Structure 1
Amino acid sequence: MRHAPNKAMLRKGLLGVFLLALAGCTIGKPRTDDPWEKFNRKVYAFNVKVDNAVIRPTAVAYRKVTTPNVRRVLSNFFANIRMPITIANDALQGELKDALKGTGRFVINTTVGFLGFFDPASQMRLPPQETDFGATLAKWGVGEGPYLVLPLIGSTTARDIWRMPVDSYFFDPMSRYARNHDFKYGQQHWPNLMFLVTLRASAIDAENLVEGAYDPYVFYRDAYRQRRLYLIYDGEPPIEAIDQLQGIDQDDIDSLLEQQREYEKNKNESDGQQTR
Structure 2
Amino acid sequence: MPSDSSRKYRTVAVAAAVLALAGCTIAKPRTDDKWEKFNRKVYAFNDAADRAVIRPVAVGYRKVTSPNFRRVVSNFFTNLRMPVTMLNDLLQGEPKDFFRSTGRFAVNTTIGLAGFFDPASQMGLPLNETDFGVTLAKWGVPEGPYVVVPLLGSTTVRDIFRFPVDRRVDPLSYYASHQDLKYNAQYFPQVAFLVTLRSRGIDAEGLLEGVYDPYVFYRDAYRQRRIYQIYDGNPPIEVIEQLQGVSEDFDPDELLKEQEQYNEKNGGGGSTTP
Quickly say closer, same or farther: Cα 1:28–1:109, change in 2 above 3 A: closer
Q: Secondary structure at the match of 2:154?
A: strand
Mapped partners of 1:252, 1:15: distance in 2? 17
Q: Is the 1:133–1:166 contact (alpha carbons within 8 Å) kept by the matching residues of 2?
A: yes
Aligned with residue 16 of structure 1, among 14, 21, 25: 21
Quickly say closer, same or farther: Cα 1:120–1:254, change in 2 above 3 A: farther
Alignment partner of 1:42 is 2:41 = yes
Q: 1:240 corresponds to which residue? A: 238
Q: Secondary structure at the match of 1:69?
A: helix
Higher helix content, 1 or 2 = 1
Q: Secondary structure at the match of 1:118?
A: coil
Q: Is the 2:132–2:166 contact (alpha carbons within 8 Å) kept by the matching residues of 1?
A: yes
Mapped partners of 2:67, 2:151: distance in 1? 26
Mapped partners of 1:74, 1:18: distance in 2? 36
Alpha-carbon deviations, 1:83-121, whole Å to 9, x = none?
Answer: 000000000000011001100100110011010000000
Q: How does 1:78-117 map to 2 (within 5 A)?
A: 78-117=77-116
How many residue pairs end up in the alignment?
243
The root-mean-square deviation of aligned C-alpha atoms, in Å, is 2.4
- TM-score, reference length from structure 1: 0.82
Alpha-carbon deviations, 1:154-193, whole Å to 9, x = none?
Answer: 100000001111101x210121122223322111111111
Q: Secondary structure at the match of 1:73?
A: helix
Unaligned runs of 5+ in 1: 1-9, 21-26, 264-276
Q: Is the 1:145–1:157 contact (alpha carbons within 8 Å) kept by the matching residues of 2?
A: yes
Q: Which amino acid aligns with 1:202?
A: R
Quickly say closer, same or farther: Cα 1:65–1:254, change in 2 above 3 A: farther
Mapped partners of 1:207, 1:65: distance in 2? 20
Q: Is the 1:30–1:222 contact (alpha carbons within 8 Å) kept by the matching residues of 2?
A: no
Q: Which amino acid aligns with 2:160?
A: I
Q: Which amino acid aligns with 2:35?
A: W
Quickly say closer, same or farther: Cα 1:247–1:58, change in 2 above 3 A: same
Q: Is the 1:89–1:131 contact (alpha carbons within 8 Å) kept by the matching residues of 2?
A: yes
Quickly say closer, same or farther: Cα 1:210–1:92, change in 2 above 3 A: same
Aligned with residue 228 of structure 2, among 220, 227, 230: 230
Identity %: 65
Q: Is the 1:85–1:131 contact (alpha carbons within 8 Å) kept by the matching residues of 2?
A: yes
Q: How does 1:80-159 map to 2 (within 5 A)?
A: 80-159=79-158
Mapped partners of 2:251, 2:60: distance in 1? 41
Q: Is the 2:18–2:221 contact (alpha carbons within 8 Å) kept by the matching residues of 1?
A: no
Alpha-carbon deviations, 1:223-254, whole Å to 9, x = none?
Answer: 00000000011101101111111112378699
Q: Is the 1:31–1:244 contact (alpha carbons within 8 Å) kept by the matching residues of 2?
A: no
Q: 1:195 corresponds to which residue? A: 193
Q: 1:73 corresponds to which residue? A: 72
Q: Is the 2:172–2:190 contact (alpha carbons within 8 Å) kept by the matching residues of 1?
A: yes
Q: Is the 1:31–1:247 contact (alpha carbons within 8 Å) kept by the matching residues of 2?
A: no
Mapped partners of 2:248, 2:194: distance in 1? 38
Quickly say closer, same or farther: Cα 1:189–1:250, change in 2 above 3 A: farther
Q: Is the 2:88–2:131 contact (alpha carbons within 8 Å) kept by the matching residues of 1?
A: yes
Quickly say closer, same or farther: Cα 1:194–1:161, change in 2 above 3 A: same
Mapped partners of 2:29, 2:225: distance in 1? 14
Q: Which amino acid aligns with 1:181?
A: Q
- TM-score, reference length from structure 2: 0.82
Q: Which amino acid aligns with 1:193?
A: V
Q: 2:9 corresponds to which residue? A: none
Q: Is the 1:30–1:248 contact (alpha carbons within 8 Å) kept by the matching residues of 2?
A: no
